[in-house]
A and B are shown apart, each in its own frame.
Chain A
Amino acid sequence: MRLPCPLCGDRDRREFYYQGHAVMLERPLRDAGANAWDDYLHNRDNPAGETRDLWHHEAGCGAWIVVTRNTVTHEVLGAILAENAKKTGAQA
């Protein structure tokens, strides 16, 4: 499996560390309340189909990226820097 690092190009999956769903980019405010924080930390959808998740190019450039992929077909549909996803709300 290869992931398209926006900085390095297609790289082997073993260079990356997997984090989880890209919802982690949407960190609640400090006083958002227990439910919002519980949701942010613990609750995740498990979609059959397209999903966006976070990977760290740990053995590469060190970039955190948002990868869009399909959990059914295993197709990797694209990736953008987490930094850009956060700044612009862009989707991979």
Chain B
Amino acid sequence: MRIAGRGFNRSARAVTFTFDGQSYTGRAGDTLAAALLANDVRHVARSFKYHRPRGVLTAGSEEPNALVTVGVGPKQDPNIRATTLEIYDGLAARSQNAWPSLKHDAMAINDLLSPFLSAGFYYKTFMWPKSFWEKLYEPVIRHAAGLGALSGETNQDTYEKAFAHCDVLIIGAGPAGIMAALTAARAGADVILADEGTAFGGRLLCETYDVNGRAGEEWAAQQLARLSDMENVRIMTRTTVTGAYDQGTFAALETVGSRNPHAPKECFWRIVAKRSILCAGALERPIAFPNNDRPGIMLASAVRSYLNRFGVAPGEAVTIFANNDDAHRTALDLIDAGVTVACVIDSRTDAVALGDYRLVAGGQVIATKGRHGLTSITVRDANGTHDIQTDCLAMSGGWNPTVHLTCHMNARPTWSDDILSFVPTDGSIPNMLVAGAARGVFSTLGCLADGIAVAQDTIRELGLTAPQIDTPTAEDSAYRIEPLWQVDGKGRKWLDFQNDVHVKDIALAVQENFRSVEHMKRYTTQGMATDQGKNSNVVALAVLADATGRGIPETGTTTFRPPYVPVAIAAMGAGSQGHGFAPERHTTSHKATLDRGAPMMEAGLWYRPSYFPKPHETTWLEACNREVAMVRNHVGICDVSTLGKIDIAGPDAAAFLDFVYCNTFSTLKENRVRYGLMLREDGHVMDDGTTARLGANHYVMTTTTAAAGQVMKHLDWVSQALRPDLDVRVASVTEQWAQFAVAGPKARDLLNSVLDRPIDDENWPFMSCGSVDIAGVQGRLFRISFSGEHAYEIAVPSRYGASLFRLLTAQAEAMDGGPYGMEALNVLRIEKGFITHGEIHGRVTASDIGFGRMVSQKKDCIGNAMSQRPGLLDPEREQLVGLKPVEITGKLTAGAHLFVDGADAVSENDQGYVTSVCYSPTLGHDLAQAFLKDGPNRHGDHILLVDHLRDVQTLCEVCHPVFFDPTGGLARG
């Protein structure tokens, strides 16, 4: 019910929205909860486990009950708290966890079955048969118990992430936070003031307190305006600080654009602050009395929030039940607004009425009625019991300081007998101080003064001069409370509303000897819902303490983890969906390659063409076979720019290479290229590639595409950390050079058609290198081959790469050649017996791949000492071989294992495994590279290939790994 003329948004425009398909009108500035209550919608949700009707409990982000789903399809967003969701025109919210409707929920049967569904029921009930768990029990439970659901479609909302740094981060902009911000800002500190609300002021927005003689919310707005004018202050509204991390790092979630379709929905902040001040206030807690969960029963502070901030009375005849003075303030506010206060029940026997309302001192609420919403309560006092008609009960069991962030780095809060709750332990978060209600200072004046004092301490810690600030005048009433955790009576007394945990569940946990607070939590799931038990944990602890005959301090407490409020993974990973998941590296030939219709494959972050299809080709294999034949018979062009290129220069460059490669490079002549093998320090192969000596003190190394980053890091490591005595510099130049393989019998003819000066065999023998000019552009030419053919690689500065690729492919096509992709490249290298990271996969040694003698014993190198371990030189090790099928049609598969024909194909009999396979169009059958025990001595033997996954068995002949041109005459010719 809306109270005319009340609420800070009293003159705001009307906003139309729907809830469960029905249209309602609210005011701009309303939360969905406020707008629903204004329309007398009390029943808004079904509970998690028992599907009990539930209403709005709170007016903040701690809300356990009023969760709704907004949006449909890819934009469906479940579990939005109605108490923080601002309404906007066109908002369509839906209730959750109810079918077919909120009012008639089939699963409400669970509530009747509740004696069978007590805490730990699924540990006990669904024990057997084991196979039933996955197929039957879990799906049924997941269907029955739950919150809102995702649509299963790809999220289309946009999110953002951002970073900020400051001197002082102030978390919470209530009276303490505002004064702390003014103090820190006046001292000249760089200040960020963040608050999760839409407006600043904290409880001042919800109470009828004056500050400095002005209404609290007006005073807060005035201070905010002052802060906004200061250049050293950043104001962050709608921003919840969700976590405290090492080195003054904080996570924060900003709601940006739920009302603006063009803005990102949320922004996830990482804020780094030299100092922080936690001014997060306090949260009110319920009292555990029988059936305290009916729609219409809410926290007293929430009733005042809806009344004073939004001008909404949550009921027509309100009753109040409390163990502290808040009951009376709630009554006075309601009466002032013209709302009937049916009765105030105060558990304290010495309670005195502060106005004209009916007071039951020393009374307790022992029962409630109303199926879909509260209709009456039963009150017991010294004179007996009686019923009171009421549609709204405001309860208050006291206030819990919002200590959550102080627990995020392992600290636990300290029990305070003064306020019957936990307060932060000093030093919980390095460089964080706590002010105001968050550390149990509850009066408005106390909070204002504490904010100033704590900020002054903070400013002094920063080495700045703390300014003197006058404390504004405000109420300074004492916080009077008597313990009241639970009420005796028949019926379930709810603690954790979101996970449906009640007092008896805790008794059961204790009965079954789950007496420690951590065990009780896990057994009952108390505090394990998305609200992390913000309202309920302290009451549950008190109940546990009572049940185990211990005090609360001895019982201890569970702790809180980040995030303070639920954070969508999409917000934390903003920008990382789809193409944002990983950077894409494109070669200079990328566009020309796509223009030719080549399907791309990923190679690390690079994109490389699989093959270049011709119009009549229907399969990749057709294209691949054609490309292989094209290289073998004519000439092919392949972009090899993705290989790592590392420039190595300096007087000690040769000595450096001798140290990082197992073979020797100091003996390499200028303008020559050598194959190099690099070991890890443990003696296994790290990477291979060719290195060219461009000058006396200048080399350029190539690495495999996959290991380029690892090798660069390794060279940095060796040059800086192991051999700083060597005068050498290394730099990655992978991106600076575009490089293309030109391979095939016509390779030199093709090059001579584009080079400014022709080359010949005498000056450019196999494994030579040097400078060449192409249309006036200086490039590098390397006569090396990864296919076994007469071949070169030609490199130009990247800006000429696209042009050179077009030029080379056009020339090639004029000679019956053309571009080739990774599939053909792979076939060509397997035919020739060249290895890739399929073979040097991290567990092989130089001798495993037949290069044992490359490990020079004339010098030390990385991996030299450990490569000589007996276990790494054992001839029984699996070593590189080639395989071909005995029957020409035999199928070879990568990943298959090798067995002696006739032996059981089990791991005990494993002889080795297949690493690479291809169909060789040159030889007309499948080929494989494999590692086989004592392989080099078994050439000519038969071995059985068994692929258990693909159900393939093929008898193979063990071969030398080089199938094509074993003498190497073609590459040299």
Contact = CB atoms under 8 A, between A and B. Distances in A.
A30 B864 contact: yes
A90 to B, nearest CB: 12
Contacts of B713: 17, 56, 58
B720 A64 contact: yes
Interface string A58-92: 10001110000000011110000111011100000
A48 interface: no
Interface string A5-30: 00000000000010100001101111
Interface string A27-67: 11111101001000100000000000010101000111000
Contacts, number: 58
B218 interface: no
Interface in B698-740: 709, 713, 716-717, 720-722, 724
A37 to B, nearest CB: 5
A49 to B, nearest CB: 16
Contact of B865 (A32, A64, A76): A32
B92 interface: no
Contacts of A73: 430
Main secondary structure of the interface of B (DSSP, over half): helix
A1 B247 contact: yes
A41 B682 contact: yes
A28 B247 contact: no
A41 B684 CA distance: 13
Contacts of A82: 717, 720-721
B249 interface: yes
Contacts of A58: 709, 713
A34 B865 CA distance: 8
A21 to B, nearest CB: 13
A70 to B, nearest CB: 11
Contacts of A75: 430
A68 B858 CA distance: 38
Nearest to A62: B716
A86 B722 contact: yes
A2 B272 contact: yes
A31 B866 CA distance: 10
Given A1-B247, A41-B866, A64 B716 contact: yes
A15 to B, nearest CB: 13
B681 interface: yes
Interface string B513-544: 00000000000000000000000000000000
B716 A25 contact: no
Contact of B246 (A28, A74, A83): A74
A59 B716 CA distance: 13
A41 B720 CA distance: 19
B865 A30 contact: yes
A56 B249 contact: no
Interface string B875-900: 00000000000000000000000000
Contacts of B722: 25, 27, 86
B717 A83 contact: no
A62 B715 CA distance: 10
Interface string B908-925: 000000000000000000
A54 B716 contact: no
B247 A37 contact: no
B95 to A, nearest CB: 41
B860 interface: yes
Interface in B231-264: 245-247, 249
B869 interface: yes
A12 B343 CA distance: 58
Nearest to A74: B246
A58 B713 CA distance: 7
14 contacts: A1-B245, A17-B713, A19-B717, A27-B681, A30-B864, A41-B866, A56-B716, A58-B709, A58-B713, A74-B247, A82-B721, A83-B724, A86-B722, A86-B724
CB-based closest 5 A-B pairs: A82-B721, A30-B860, A74-B246, A83-B724, A83-B720
Given A1-B246, A64-B720, 16 more contacts: A1-B245, A1-B249, A2-B247, A2-B249, A24-B721, A30-B864, A37-B866, A41-B866, A56-B716, A58-B709, A64-B717, A73-B430, A75-B430, A81-B720, A83-B724, A86-B721
